[in-house]
Structure 1
Amino acid sequence: MRVTWEQVWAWRLRRQYVAERGTGSVPEIVARLCGVQAQVTSAAELAVALRSATPKSDAVVTELAAGTLMKTWAMRGTLHALTPDLGAACLAVMASARTWEKPIWQRNFGASPAEVAALTEAVARILDGVVLTREELVGALVADTAFRGLGEELRSGWGALLKPLAWQGALCHGPAQGSKVTFTSPAHLVRGWRGLPELDAAAATAIRAYLGTYGPATPETFNAWLTRNSLRKTQVRGWFSELGDAITEVDVAGRTGYLLTEHADELAASTPDENVYLLGAFDQYILGPGTNDAELLPAAHRAKVSRAAGWISPLVVAGGRITGTWELTEDTVLLSMFDDAKPLPEHGIDAAVDHLAAVAGRPKLTVRTG
């Protein structure tokens, strides 16, 4: 099966509720996106609101509080809001990489595999049925002489020592207390939490979800998206192979990837989408395939999107390709178009800005190109 990149992007825009906004629940939108990055809560809210036919303020936070979504360190070690079933599957696959047992991780963060195992047990016990701030959790841990030497790393806002615990299902984020982060057990907060599934089943769930939104894609792209290539390549290829007829090989302008077979006819029938869309910071449209995808984001402009300290800029998407970035002031959308981008159709950018204004609760936004 052969298709063009323009067909792939048009299909992804529909699957991701960008071209056709979702009429279902917030968890349904989050599930389709395989989670939304939630390092910055407002970015997660915007990602969902832009894709919803009836956007509501604080929709993600509301679902997190209700336990229909969970917030935890997941893909690539970053905070995501996820549906419980997909979250559990992704965590199980990430935990299988055992990154905390690698010498470089131990050198960087000062904890041995035995200490991480002991931390996992202790945190699961401490958080059973309660919600604690970071300070309260660390205080309970360092009261034990076994963990006193890890206090500085445990207090770090990067959470390096806590991430392996999250991947093993021992903790997740709880509701924020003002500016303070909290932690709890998934079993305490997440509705219907059943623990982490068996690895092969978890991998099948995660791969199917990923291909259903970001396909056609390779095992290597999936590995980079989920674990920053921490899984063994042969293992990931084996998981893809085990899906058998459930996936179909697709040639996209000479690049081979895999798609769920059930979506093959829909992709083949897709026609290019020439519309203009404005997507927010840390948006899944680029995080799914990765900022190294030079077809979607030309390599010459990658640094304008993937910036210092892991910041991912808001995106201007035209014809499916990323053609610039934008920022919002009080009443103006400032576009920074790539120097080789085609001029945007006036009616196209007007529609995108009007949608952004509606989502942001602004009566009117003007457009300026910087």
Structure 2
Amino acid sequence: MPSVSRHWALTWRLRRQHLVDGADSSVEVVRTLAAVSVFGSDPDLAVRRRLADPGAPGEVQRALSDGRLVRTFSFRGSVQVMAPETAGAYLALRAAGRQWALKSWVEHYRLRPDDWPDLRALVREVVADGPVPPRAIADAVAGTRFDHLATEFAEPNITLLKPLCWQGDVVLGPPVADGLTLQSPAAAPTWGGIPPLDEAGPRVVLEYVDAYGPCTPAHVHSWLGEGLSAGRKRLTTWWTEVQDRLARVDVDGEDRWVLADRLPELVDVRPEESVVLLPGKDAWVMGPGTKDEWVVPAEHRTSMTRGANPVLVDGVVRGTWKVVGGAVDVDAPDAPIDGTAAEVERLETLLRTP
């Protein structure tokens, strides 16, 4: 079994997540990370920091507008930017819990599980020529057996919209001044649909290990279980199914796993010193989770959970940064001066800060 240091492993992960050399496109970045947070973060900065040619601010919005990326409710009940070709597999896991079939949901919305197919068909018809405001769905259900939901859609009730996103009926359209819009995910040319659960599960386990390895089954349970409510039994089964495609690695005495195909890359990497400034709630932190002291030492866990902007030194959170008076201000006493200065210059260029 190969043996590497934690610094070594994190150097490799920095490369896998395009934080060293940079990716060719925003879609490549988002596909690698699986999802990029919207609320409490800066998805444009998170993506452009990972591009070889970051271009002008607004790249993520441009990609959303032309269908290269989509926005939808997925991880932890929040909104993420995702790649259309891979989003469906993650949504399949989120929908597997069938939250809308819970007794509390059935009673509150007066919707039985066997009512949902007809409601979903109606919604798909409304958003087919979208983007449309939720009010359009409210108007469509008025006078039907779903008339009692008109007010819920008109408000709109975000909780009621989420299962429609999870099942691939709608995604969030371009934001407008007076609220959100909805559209069909099929508006994205590469939308891959919602695959069967037994196909989606093993696929996303492998994708997680590919981006966030070397990792453990506990990390998969955190990302897909706590994040998507996939269910511990399912995740354990899927991990077992893909184990023949994984390779065990000793990292400072701890067993972790990477994709077997990636093992030669990991072994060939050599530890490098680095300083990276990222927006709050970035996938680098949220992927392994703020409990993972590999990336988030205990003294920084609270600030990361609250969404502070992390300063990474060799992949580990060592402080925070913010913009003060038009300049990037770093609070990371242990960060090397030269590396920090270079990263601040890069970040200010990305932000177009004087």
- Structure 1 unmatched ranges of 5 or more: 364-370
Q: Could you tell me which residue of structure 1 aligns to residue 12 of structure 2?
A: 11
Residue range with higher mean Cα deviation, 9-18 or 248-257: 248-257
Q: Could you tell me which residue of structure 2 aligns to residue 316 of structure 1?
A: 311
Q: Could you tell me which residue of structure 2 aligns to residue 353 of structure 1?
A: 344
Compared CA separation, residues 223 and 117, structure 1 to 2 (3 A): farther
Q: Is the partner of 1:130 in helix, strand or coil?
A: coil
Q: Is the partner of 1:161 in helix, strand or coil?
A: helix
Residue range with higher mean Cα deviation, 279-288 or 91-100: 91-100
Instruction: State the Cα deviation string for residues 343-369 of structure 1 (Å, max 9, x = none).
Output: 221101101100001111124xxxxxx
Q: Could you tell me which residue of structure 1 aligns to residue 234 of structure 2?
A: 235
Instruction: State the Cα deviation string for residues 205-257 of structure 1 (Å, max 9, x = none).
Output: 21222111101223332232134162232321221222243111233334433
* Distance of 2:170 and 2:225 partners within structure 1: 19
* Distance of 1:143 and 1:272 partners within structure 2: 65
- 1:91 shift after superposition: 1.1
Residue range with higher mean Cα deviation, 11-20 or 111-120: 111-120
Indicate conservation of the 8 Å contact 1:30/1:36, yes or no. Answer: yes
- 1:315 shift after superposition: 0.8
* Distance of 1:273 and 1:64 partners within structure 2: 34
Compared CA separation, residues 262 and 232, structure 1 to 2 (3 A): same
Q: Is the partner of 2:87 in helix, strand or coil?
A: helix
Q: Could you tell me which residue of structure 2 aligns to residue 193 of structure 1?
A: 191
* Distance of 1:75 and 1:106 partners within structure 2: 23
Compared CA separation, residues 37 and 110, structure 1 to 2 (3 A): farther
Indicate conservation of the 8 Å contact 2:36/2:43, yes or no. Answer: yes
Instruction: State the Cα deviation string for residues 134-184 of structure 1 (Å, max 9, x = none).
Output: 333334335545352573487356x22211111111111112233521101
Q: Quick check: 1:94 aligned with 2:89? A: no
Instruction: State the Cα deviation string for residues 17-70 of structure 1 (Å, max 9, x = none).
Output: 112222x12211221222311236x71100111111211221111111111211
Correspondence list, 1:119-138, <5 A: 119-138=119-138
Indicate conservation of the 8 Å contact 2:135/2:153, yes or no. Answer: no
- Structure 2 unmatched ranges of 5 or more: none
Residue range with higher mean Cα deviation, 218-227 or 233-242: 218-227
- 1:297 shift after superposition: 0.7
Q: How many residues align?
A: 351
Q: TM-score, normalised by structure 2?
A: 0.89
Letter of the 1:5 partner, please give it.
R
* Distance of 1:323 and 1:64 partners within structure 2: 33
Q: Is the partner of 1:137 in helix, strand or coil?
A: helix
Q: Could you tell me which residue of structure 2 aligns to residue 290 of structure 1?
A: 289
Residue range with higher mean Cα deviation, 351-360 or 275-284: 275-284
Compared CA separation, residues 145 and 104, structure 1 to 2 (3 A): closer
Compared CA separation, residues 252 and 60, structure 1 to 2 (3 A): same
Correspondence list, 1:1-370, <5 A: 1=1, 2-22=3-23, 24-39=24-39, 43-56=42-55, 57-103=57-103, 113-114=113-114, 116-148=116-148, 151-152=151-152, 155-156=155-156, 159-187=158-186, 189-228=187-226, 230-307=229-306, 312-337=307-332, 343-363=334-354
Indicate conservation of the 8 Å contact 2:39/2:78, yes or no. Answer: yes
Q: Is the partner of 1:160 in helix, strand or coil?
A: helix
- 1:111 shift after superposition: 5.8
* Distance of 1:217 and 1:357 partners within structure 2: 33
Aligned-residue CA RMSD (Å)? 2.5
